[in-house]
């Protein structure tokens, strides 16, 4: 096994023993980027100088016997939605092309304090609006398991970079499935924590009541270790939960014996890929064999989740994206004659078609005469969806389901059909509407070698149990050890 194929914790062990240095690991990442990123197209910006400087500082700390934490020296990547001091931060949009962040977002600061070198910024759907990374304002990212297919989105660059061995782990954001869906399509573990568990300060906003930061990694243990770094109360984020974070690695090997797991009938729908359904049902049987009780459960308002999400999220996006006016930062239409034309030309040139579509949907839903009929009603249905989960969790300890209804699809296949693209998140977005923790982990491959993901959903702030269920399944298989044929 080559160095870049190690998990985060495997590398951390070698760093602790002195078998490998952080500089060696970081150079291995940079070489891998040079070798494969021309095909994968995961990176928007590589910070070689900054990453190597951080690696050298890490090696010095370890040599002095004072590592900053267990993951000190492990190189990672960042979705380009996180403000990172001194580096370009575009959120995948032309409207922020050339913008250099003046400060670090909270999770970036926490990574640096824990000693993790940041290799660079990763591609994404523009403003995190998309399910394939084809809505990036720069170029699409490709799936390392099949370069003709999407790695998912909107955190597709983060998923592709980890899957391709360009970094050992990465952070993404999940507004309606944007960590879990790309994880499923690239054979990774992707965790969306409970809303409020991880600070959003310094994260460019899409939909403020839905966005959440989380890790993309090769193993469940890696996800637990990276969550441990970033799960902190932050007074700079008014939605940050004032709760202590447990030791996520401590109970990881507890198994599923005695747990009751729910299999929601609404998550097995007509039009699902049969290979995906078979793999997920086989995973449920495996968990039953391991001692869990697997029962049918119902989340009856799931059928309204897609419509609810695509009223609430665009409405919040319409408000959040009003700040991009060509005056304070980012793109500016220098040829505009007057303020109104400056606004119009800057937004016309800077925003892509998917972002414009969602701004228009959201503005309409919030407009006079339509607010109560659309946005307010969507918020009421959101409450019903959350209550469905509350009722279900009175009977079960966690819920298991498919992550995506299909495996990775061809680039260009759905790009001209927005509704078909939106349906890719049909199993992931109810979790965001309810503010719950959710994780995707590998559970098999299609006959053509494409990864399939199993989703585990838990009670609010019960990430530890979600991780425990995922680890119990992961122990029984070698899916996480398989690598793409790059």
Q: Catalytic site residue 13? A: no
**Cα 435 from Cα 432, distance rounded (Å):** 5
In which band, very low, low, confident or very high, does the pLDDT at 130 lie, cut at 50, 70 and 90?
A: very high
Question: Which string of DSSP letters, residue by residue, matches 273-313?
Answer: -HHHHHHHHHHHHHHHHTT-EEEEE--GGGGGHHHHHHHHH
Closest C-alpha to 201, from 82, 85, 98, 346: 82
Annotated catalytic residue: which of 178, 240, 245, 401?
Answer: 178
Average pLDDT of span 88-105: 96
Phi, psi of 141 (to 5 degrees): -95, 150
CB 373: neighbour CB atoms within 10 A? 10
pLDDT for residue 428: 98
Task: Count H helices and E strands in the chain, helices first.
Answer: 15, 11
Taking the CA atoms of residue 235, residue 207, residue 437 and residue 106 in that order, the dihedral angle to the nearest 10 degrees is -30
Q: Give mean pLDDT, residues 130-155.
A: 98
Q: Whole-model pTM?
A: 0.97
pLDDT higher than 90, residue 419: no
Active site residue 79: yes
- pLDDT at residue number 269: 84
Quick check: is 131 catalytic? no
Q: Distance between CA 172 and CA 153 in Å, rounded? A: 10
**How much is the pLDDT for 270?**
83
Assigned domain for 282 exists: no
Range from 30-44, 45-59, 264-278 carrying the lowest mean pLDDT: 264-278
pLDDT of 66 reads 97
CATH number at residue 238: 3.90.1300.10
Q: In what order do the strands lie in the sheet with 398-402?
A: 43-46, 118-122, 76-79, 170-173, 213-217, 189-192, 438-445, 451-457, 398-402, 260-264, 293-297
Confidence of residue 54 (pLDDT cuts 50, 70, 90): very high
Q: Taking CA 48 as the corner, what is the angle to CA 80 and CA 98, rounded to the nearest 5 degrees?
A: 40
Instruction: For residue 276, give both structure tokens.
Output: 């995906």
Give domain status of residue 382, yes or no. no
Residue 303 lies in a domain: no
Query: pLDDT by residue (tens digit) across 439-468?
Result: 999 999 999 999 999 999 999 999 999 999
On whether residue 309 sits in a domain, the answer given is: no
pLDDT of residue 89: 97
Strand partners, 398: 261
Q: Which of 154, 155, 158, 245 is catalytic?
A: 154
- Provide CB contacts within 8 A for 73, sequence distance 6+: 11, 12, 15, 21, 22, 25, 55, 58, 59, 62, 67, 115, 116, 117
Does residue 72 form part of some domain?
yes
Mean pLDDT of 140-152: 98
What whole-number percentage of the chain has pLDDT above 70?
100
Would you say residue 188 lies in a domain? yes
Catalytic residue (choose from 79, 112, 192, 414): 79
pLDDT for the residue 121: 98
How many domains does one find in the chain?
1
pLDDT band at 385 (very low <50, low <70, confident <90, very high): very high
- Residue 1: per-residue pLDDT: 79
Q: State residue 271's pLDDT score.
A: 84
Mean pLDDT of 116-135: 98
Mean pLDDT of 358-364: 96
Mean pLDDT of 235-264: 97
Give residue 401's domain range.
Answer: 3-259+395-481
Write out pLDDT tens, residues 212-243: 999 999 999 999 999 999 999 999 999 999 99
Asked if the structure places residue 439 within a domain, the reply is: yes
Residue 307 lies in a domain: no
């Amino acid at each position: 096994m080559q160095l870049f194929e190690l998990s985060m914790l495997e590398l951390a062990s070698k760093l602790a023993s002195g078998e490998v240095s952080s500089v060696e690991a970081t150079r291995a990442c940079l070489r891998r980027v040079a070798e494969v990123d021309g095909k994968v197209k995961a990176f928007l910006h590589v910070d070689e100088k900054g990453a190597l400087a951080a690696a050298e500082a890490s090696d010095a700390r370890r040599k002095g016997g004072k590592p900053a934490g267990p993951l000190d020296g492990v190189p990672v990547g960042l979705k380009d939605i996180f403000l990172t001091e001194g580096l370009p931060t575009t959120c995948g949009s032309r409207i922020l092309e050339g913008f250099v962040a003046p400060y670090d977002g909270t999770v970036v600061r926490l990574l640096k304090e824990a000693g993790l070198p940041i290799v660079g910024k990763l591609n994404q759907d523009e403003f995190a609006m998309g399910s394939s990374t084809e809505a990036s304002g720069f170029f699409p990212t490709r799936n390392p398991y099949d370069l003709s297919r999407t790695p998912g989105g909107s955190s597709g660059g983060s998923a592709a970079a980890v899957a391709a061995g360009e970094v050992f782990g990465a952070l993404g954001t999940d507004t309606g499935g944007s960590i879990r869906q790309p994880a499923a399509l690239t054979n990774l573990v992707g965790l969306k924590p409970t809303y409020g568990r991880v600070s959003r300060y310094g994260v460019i906003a899409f939909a403020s009541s839905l966005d959440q930061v989380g890790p993309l990694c090769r193993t469940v243990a890696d996800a637990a270790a990276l969550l441990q770094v970033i799960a902190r109360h932050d007074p700079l984020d008014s939605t940050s939960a004032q709760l202590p974070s447990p030791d996520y690695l401590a109970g990881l090997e507890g198994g599923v014996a005695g747990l009751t797991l729910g299999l929601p009938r609404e998550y097995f729908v007509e039009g699902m890929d049969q290979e995906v359904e078979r793999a997920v049902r086989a995973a449920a049987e495996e968990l039953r064999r391991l001692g869990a009780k697997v029962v049918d459960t119902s989340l009856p308002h799931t059928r309204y989740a897609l419509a609810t999400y695509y009223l609430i999220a665009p409405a919040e996006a319409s408000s959040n994206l009003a700040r991009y006016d060509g005056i304070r930062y980012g793109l500016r239409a220098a040829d505009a004659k007057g303020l109104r034309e400056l606004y119009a030309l800057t937004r016309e040139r800077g925003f892509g078609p998917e972002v414009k579509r969602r701004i228009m949907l959201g503005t309409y839903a919030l407009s006079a005469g339509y607010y109560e009929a659309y946005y307010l009603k969507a918020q009421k249905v959101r409450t019903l969806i959350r209550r469905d989960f509350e009722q279900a969790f009175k009977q079960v300890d966690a819920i298991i389901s498919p992550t995506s209804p299909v495996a990775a699809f061809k680039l260009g296949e759905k790009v001209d059909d927005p509704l078909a693209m939106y349906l890719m998140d049909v199993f992931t977005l109810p979790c965001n509407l309810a503010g719950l923790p959710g994780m995707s982990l590998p559970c098999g491959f299609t006959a053509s070698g494409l990864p399939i993901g199993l989703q585990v959903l838990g009670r609010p702030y019960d990430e530890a149990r979600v991780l425990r269920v995922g680890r119990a399944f992961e122990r029984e298989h070698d899916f996480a050890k398989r690598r793409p044929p790059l």
